[in-house]
Amino acid sequence: MTNLKGNLLTFIKVKMSIILAFDIIVVALSGSERGSWADCNCTACESSGYVCETDGACMASTYHTNGQEEQQFRICIPRVSLVPPGQPIYCLSAEGLLNTHCCYTDFCNSINLQIPSGIAEGKGGSWGPVELVAVIAGPVFLFCLLLIMGVLVFQHHQRNYNHRQRLEVEDPSCDHLYLAKDKTLQDLIFDLSTSGSGSGLPLFVQRTVARTIVLQEIIGKGRFGEVWRGRWRGGDVAVKIFSSREERSWFREAEIYQTIMLRHENILGFIAADNKDNGTWTQLWLVSDYHEHGSLFDYLNHYSVTIEGMIKLALSAASGLAHLHMEILGTQGKPGIAHRDLKSKNILVKKNGTCAIADLGLAVRHETITDTIDIAPNQRVGTKRYMAPEVLDETINMKHFDSFKCADIYALGLVYWEIARRCNAGGIHEDYQLPFYDLVPSDPSIEEMRKVVCDQRLRPNVPNWWQSYEALRVMGKIMRECWYANGAARLTALRIKKTLSQLSVQEDVKI
Ligand SMILES: Nc1ncnc2c1ncn2[C@@H]1O[C@H](COP(=O)(O)OP(=O)(O)O)[C@@H](O)[C@H]1O
Ligand SMILES: [Mg+2]
């Protein structure tokens, strides 16, 4: 026990020589007390009857032993140990002591100390100026420090982000091969087709192109967002912007467009996909060729077509679909692709009056080797009005890839009906109508469609007068053979293409 006290005193002396700002307890001394001698209680002075004499201060303090037990001790502090030396202004506490009381009259340190819950309580709640400054300035200083660090981290992040953006957009080391200033999109795509990758521009070129497009005006709205006309190097491009919620659809459509060897004059020409994070949200872009006539639906609403115009539209649509459906074997081959949402709003009309099949977001690909479909197909996707009977009544065999192609053919037949109605032969043509306009309401339910198409086995009307014109007669026949209830009995896209090619020769159509 004596040993412990001796050690403690040595410890206190060493500690007292260190001035710790937060351990200082200020005691203002009255002038009369300075320089006088006092007797103090001394827990370490067994030999002198627990009394010591000091020219400085009497001190009482508490400390913990074993981390828990409270011990009190009392000692004399000589004048020379007061701070500043010889001029007792401060009585020092030391690290490890929980409460320190200094005083300057005889046995004034006999008081019973309580373990404080804080330094302030040790002083009976009265705050000295140094403590006040420390208590107020400390947290304020800490807060400012955190704030400054936050601002610095944010600035650093922003600088890095901007730097990255600049690198991605401008880094000439990556892009110069492809993006020499005088190159147009046509040149780029030509380079691409001769370089032979067959699946699209390299990703960094796609990104660079996408990020230098200037958007002009909205040209369409669909399932997933907006379609804009944009400008790039003096030419027009179409930009389909997906909302960030539709990331999967964006990714899927970009993936399908980049299927090896998909490029075809009657399939919308894909240019770039880009996901641009502007710090707050992600913009998902799909850039493609722009076609000023817009969709076949818009086109037929505006214009009637000549027989030649009808054949061009129908033949080019069949060519696009035949290419999409076709499976090309070999390393540079392409898988068969079914569209699953073929309709006049998803086919675009090019300047030369031919079609380009667009909106491949719901397409599925056939994995030849495993004879499987590349995504788990859900039962009924697409537009209800154009759904084949086996899709409406859910009898479609989804394990069999050809089933999806047959469903596309049914929809193509409906598109042909929309085109043929607008064919101006001998001065007669009909107004534009959607298929089943006379049998179901707008935005029909699956049930309404199923009743008409499956139960009543109704199909759009093929007028008798079409028989008087060879082209319309052929079109009518093709439509009927696209609409069989039995999917397997329908024509193939390739068969339709051949039939219409012959017709175009007969009718002297220049494509
Ligand atoms: N490349 C393009 N050129 C001109 N118009 C386009 C182009 N792509 C889309 N559009 C217009 O935007 C509409 C919606 O485009 P689409 O790709 O079908 O989007 P969604 O998947 O949202 O249906 C089309 O019906 C068409 O009117
Ligand atoms: Mg669409």
**Is any atom of ligand 1 closer than 6 Å to the C-beta of 248?**
no
Mutation pick for ligand 1 pocket among 240, 297, 298, 299 (CB with most ligand atoms within 8 Å) = 240
Tell whether 98 and 222 lie within a shared domain: no
Mark whether 379 and 438 lie in a shared domain: yes
Residue 85 within any structural domain of the chain: yes
Q: Is the CB of 222 under 6 A from ligand 1?
A: yes
Q: Which of 274, 341, 359, 374 is catalytic?
A: 341
Q: Does the residue 387 lie in any domain?
A: yes
CA of 344 to the centre of ligand 2 (A): 9
Q: Is 60 a domain residue?
A: yes
CATH number of 472's domain:
1.10.510.10
The per-residue pLDDT string of the chain (511 residues; one tens digit each, 9 = 90 and over) reads: 444 444 444 444 434 433 333 333 333 343 334 457 889 888 888 888 889 888 888 888 877 776 666 778 788 888 877 766 655 555 655 556 667 778 888 988 888 876 555 444 444 445 667 778 888 888 888 998 999 998 888 887 776 666 555 444 444 455 555 667 777 777 777 666 665 556 678 888 889 888 889 999 999 988 878 999 999 988 999 999 998 888 889 999 999 999 999 999 999 999 999 998 877 888 899 999 999 999 999 999 999 999 999 999 999 999 999 999 999 988 888 999 999 999 999 999 999 999 999 999 999 999 888 888 988 776 668 999 999 999 999 999 999 999 999 999 999 999 999 999 999 998 888 999 999 999 999 999 999 999 999 999 999 999 999 999 999 999 999 999 999 999 999 999 999 999 999 999 999 888 7
Same domain, 305 and 262: no
| 254/367 same-domain check | no
Contact present, 286 and 207 (Cβ < 8 Å):
no
120, 149, 174 - which closes a domain: 120
Radius of gyration of the chain (CA): 44
Residue 135 belongs to some domain of the structure = no
- For residue 343 and ligand 1, the question of a CB distance below 6 A is answered with no
In the reported structure, the alpha carbon of residue 222 is separated from the centroid of ligand 2 by a whole-number distance in angstroms of 5
Which among 295, 341, 362, 385 is the best mutation to test ligand 1's pocket, defined by most ligand atoms within 8 Å of the CB?
295
* 289, 324, 353 - which closes a domain: 289
Residues 475, 492: one domain?
A: yes
Domains identified in the chain, total number = 3
| Residue at 459 is within a domain | yes
Same-domain status, 190 and 226: yes
Which among 289, 319, 339 is the end of a domain? 289
DSSP code at position 136: H
- Do residues 285 and 303 both lie within one domain? no
277 and 422 share one domain? no
Stated pTM of the model:
0.68
238 lines ligand 1 (CB under 6 A): yes
Facing residues of 63 across strands? 71, 97
List the structure tokens of 410: 């049914």
Residue 495: phi and psi, rounded to 5, are -65, -45
364-367 and 337-338 beta bridge pairing: antiparallel
CA distance 43 to 110: 10
Which one, of 129, 119, 118, 9, lies nearest residue 59 by Cα? 9
- From the CA of 295, the nearest ligand is 1
CB atoms within 10 A of CB 159: 10
Say if residue 365 is in the same domain as residue 490.
Answer: yes
Do 95 and 197 fall into the same domain?
no
Residue 246 parent element (H or E): none
The verdict on residue 176 lying in a domain is: no
Q: Give me the CATH number covering residue 63.
A: 2.10.60.10
Q: What is the 3-state secondary structure (H, E, C) of 252-318?
A: HHHHHHCCCCCCCCCECCEEEEEEEECCCCEEEEEEEECCCCCEHHHHHHHCCECHHHHHHHHHHHH
Tell me how far apart the alpha carbons of residues 260 and 177 are, in angstroms, rounded to a whole number: 22
Is there a catalytic annotation at residue 341? yes
The reply to whether 171 falls in a domain is no
Give the chain's end-to-end CA distance (angstroms, integer). 111
Domain co-membership, 377 together with 413: yes
Proximal ligand: closest to the CA of 241: 1
Flag whether 225 is in a domain.
Answer: yes
Pair (249, 300) in one structural domain: no
Domain that holds residue 494: 296-506
**48 and 89 Cβ atoms separated by less than 8 Å:** no
Sign of CA dihedral 464, 470, 472, 475: positive
Distance CA 319, CA 444 (A): 30
Give the separation between CA 271 and CA 209, rounded to whole angstroms: 9
Nearest CA to ligand 1 atom 13: 220
| 345 carries a ligand binding annotation | no
